[in-house]
Amino acid sequence: MSLTGITAYLQPGTLEEAYGLLDDRSIAVGGGTDIIRHPHIGVTTLVDLGALPLRYLRHESGFAIGGTATLSDMLEHPGLAAHLDGVVAEMLRGVGSPLLRNAATIGGHLARGRYSDIVPLLLALDATLTLFDGTERTLSLADYYRAGLHRSRALISEIGLPPAGPDTAAAFLKFTRVAFDYALLNCAVQVRLDGRGMVEEARVAVGETPALGALVEAAAQSLEGGPLDDGRIDASAELAAAAIPAQDDQRASAEYRRALCRVGVRRALFRARGRLEGRRQ
């Protein structure tokens, strides 16, 4: 959808320059797939980040993903596609369509901060962001949303995923009405076991409640320090269903969302447990 009222399209070559061009009348463009679909009152200038050297994906100890890497770049990176039993690729295959993923960037997706399958999983995987707003700093994705920085002008230059050893497994689940759709609810978990097979650290994130995905601390804490058995999985799922800020909207009722959450978290934890067991054999 062509946008009206836009009088300039700028393509800066550096992050500093790009940030310097942002003000009340301008907006940063990653893939543009979200911006182009909505009118932006008062915005006259588009600041395209496409010429910045941020389209990269490096497999170091974990992963360093440049802010303008596309969702397809992520899906097609063999190392990332294999990470944690392919959980990132599995999630990305359900985000829109290949046509969308070829254009949409990870930085744009995270800064947009609504309707997201990516956010819950990256929260569960303990992703970090590197931001630029005059100076550069790195913080957790959870803190980024907690502080409301997605509503600021800070530019996302990099997304970091920590390494995961053989004692860690994750899973993601999305409920939709039809295959190519936003979620009615989605959830992601990550579990790390200690040497005795007890849960050392758990992370549970639930999204589209319909609020943006967020960690559910109570559900994660209840898993820690014990075995990942059926009873503790059920209890965690029950806590998650009670804790999420479920609301009615045109997609689903709050009650239905709590029911989906209970089933989703339970299934995701079972799936993660299956993956951990699969590795021991």
* Residue 41 interacting partner from ligand FAD, other proteins, none (CB closer than 5 to 8 Å by kind): none
For other proteins, the closer CB: 44 or 253: 44
For other proteins, the closer CB: 24 or 281: 24
Query: Interface mask (CB under 6 A) for ligand FAD, residues 127-166, using x and -?
Result: ----------------------------xx----------
Q: Name residue 152's amino acid.
A: S
Which H/E stretch holds residue 185?
strand 185-193
CA distances to 59, 131, 205 from 29, in Å: 26, 16, 28
Helix, strand, or coil (residue 176): coil
Neighbouring-strand partners of residue 28: 47
Report CA Rg, the chain: 19
CB of 275 to other proteins, least distance (A): 22
Kindly provide the b/e burial profile for residues 67-87, where b requires at least 16 CB atoms within 10 angstroms of the residue's own CB: bbbbbbbbbebeebeebbbeb
Q: What DSSP character marks residue 137? A: E
Q: State the residue for tokens 């990269």.
A: 56
Q: What are phi and psi of 86, to 5 degrees?
A: 80, 20
Q: Does 102 bind other proteins (CB under 8 A)?
A: yes
User: Is 58 in contact with 32 (CB distance < 8 Å)?
Assistant: no
Q: Which window, 31-39, 170-178, 195-203, 207-215, contacts other proteins (CB under 8 A)? A: 31-39
Query: Interface mask (CB under 8 A) for other proteins, residues 148-187, using x and -?
Result: -------------------------------xx-------
Interface pick for other proteins out of 18, 28, 46, 92 (rule CB under 8 A): 46
* Residue 30 interacting partner from other proteins, ligand FAD, none (CB closer than 5 to 8 Å by kind): ligand FAD
Q: Does 87 bind ligand FAD (CB under 6 A)?
A: no
Q: Which window, 19-27, 53-61, 90-98, 136-144, contacts other proteins (CB under 8 A)? A: 90-98
Interface pick for other proteins out of 19, 27, 31, 233 (rule CB under 8 A): 31
Q: What are phi and psi of 66, to 5 degrees?
A: -65, 150
Interface pick for other proteins out of 16, 23, 99, 143 (rule CB under 8 A): 99
- The residue number with the shortest CB distance to ligand FAD is 108
Q: What DSSP character marks residue 70? A: B
* Residue 116 interacting partner from other proteins, ligand FAD, none (CB closer than 5 to 8 Å by kind): ligand FAD
For ligand FAD, the closer CB: 95 or 206: 95
User: Is 70 in contact with 97 (CB distance < 8 Å)?
Assistant: no
Q: What are phi and psi of 142, to 5 degrees?
A: -60, -45
Identify which of 130, 246, 267, 158 has the alpha carbon closest to the alpha carbon of residue 204. Answer: 267
User: Contact residues for ligand FAD (CB under 6 A)?
Assistant: 27-35, 49, 67, 95-96, 100, 104-105, 107-109, 111-112, 115-118, 155-156, 182
User: Contact residues for other proteins (CB under 8 A)?
Assistant: 1-9, 11, 29, 31-33, 36-37, 46, 48, 50, 72, 76, 93, 96-100, 102-103, 179-180
